[in-house]
Amino acid sequence: MSTAERSPSHLQWSLVVPVKVLARAKTRMSGAAGPHRQDLALAVAADTVAAALRCPAVRDVIVVTDDPRPAAELAALGATVVADEPDAGLNPALVHGAGRGREAAPDAGVGALSADLPALRPAELARVLEAAAAAPEAFVPDAAGIGTTLYTARPGVPFAPAFGGGSRAAHRARGARELLLDGTDSVRRDVDTPEDLLAALALGTGPRTAAVSALLPGLRDLAREA
């Protein structure tokens, strides 16, 4: 079946996941996470990648990172790891990763997935990707309704992510279809703050995030105050 003939419901996806150097990751979690901040950042990314790899619509996950620690752990999960060769910011890194995906599978769609989705459910991601296959470009806004957790482009469509401040508005302005599906909270629940992490834990995170979260006294104190 050619790219043009491929049914949207059978489209496979290469997802690009950007992972920061751990020393610069999850800085807004410093108070609650303390010495476990880098471990938490890695756990969140690993749970995200592991869930994405279990999604039947996902052909492969391409991690873009310059940090050897997450590179090794995420490769062991089955991800393809590439260095951030452009080293020019988030969106160029995503384009670089998507290019690698299209080289390997020109008939697959490409997407950029946040590394901050520790409660991600493979079935919910599959539903979103099925909907995304019906549009040239699509995106999922984050739980706050300001940012973006997933941006996709069908085969043959230019991959032009607009992540950064106010990315929801930026993706809408570029004509990407916004996907707000019932029952897909795990695809929107990114984690930047302690409050976000509590919300993700309430949904049910992957095992790595749950294990590190149990070590955070600051998080327990916040939960008692809530």
7 is known to lie in a ligand binding site: no
183 is known to lie in a ligand binding site: no
CB distance 102 to 109 below 8 Å: no
Mean pLDDT computed over 105-121? 98
Binning pLDDT at 50, 70 and 90, where does residue 219 land? confident
> Within the chain, where are the H helices?
30-33, 37-53, 68-77, 90-104, 122-132, 167-173, 185-188, 194-203, 207-213, 217-225
**What does residue 62 show for φ and ψ, rounded to 5 degrees?**
-110, 115
CB distance 14 to 107 below 8 Å: no
Strands 13-18 and 58-64: parallel
Binning pLDDT at 50, 70 and 90, where does residue 223 land? low
164 is known to lie in a ligand binding site: yes
Mean pLDDT computed over 26-44? 94
- pLDDT reported for residue 10: 84
- pLDDT reported for residue 9: 60
Binning pLDDT at 50, 70 and 90, where does residue 86 land? confident
CA distance 128 to 150: 9
CATH number of 11-225: 3.90.550.10
Domain ranges of the chain: 11-225
Binning pLDDT at 50, 70 and 90, where does residue 224 land? low
- pLDDT reported for residue 131: 98
Token pair for 61 = 């996950």
- pLDDT reported for residue 222: 66
User: Is a pLDDT exceeding 60 seen at residue 226?
Assistant: no
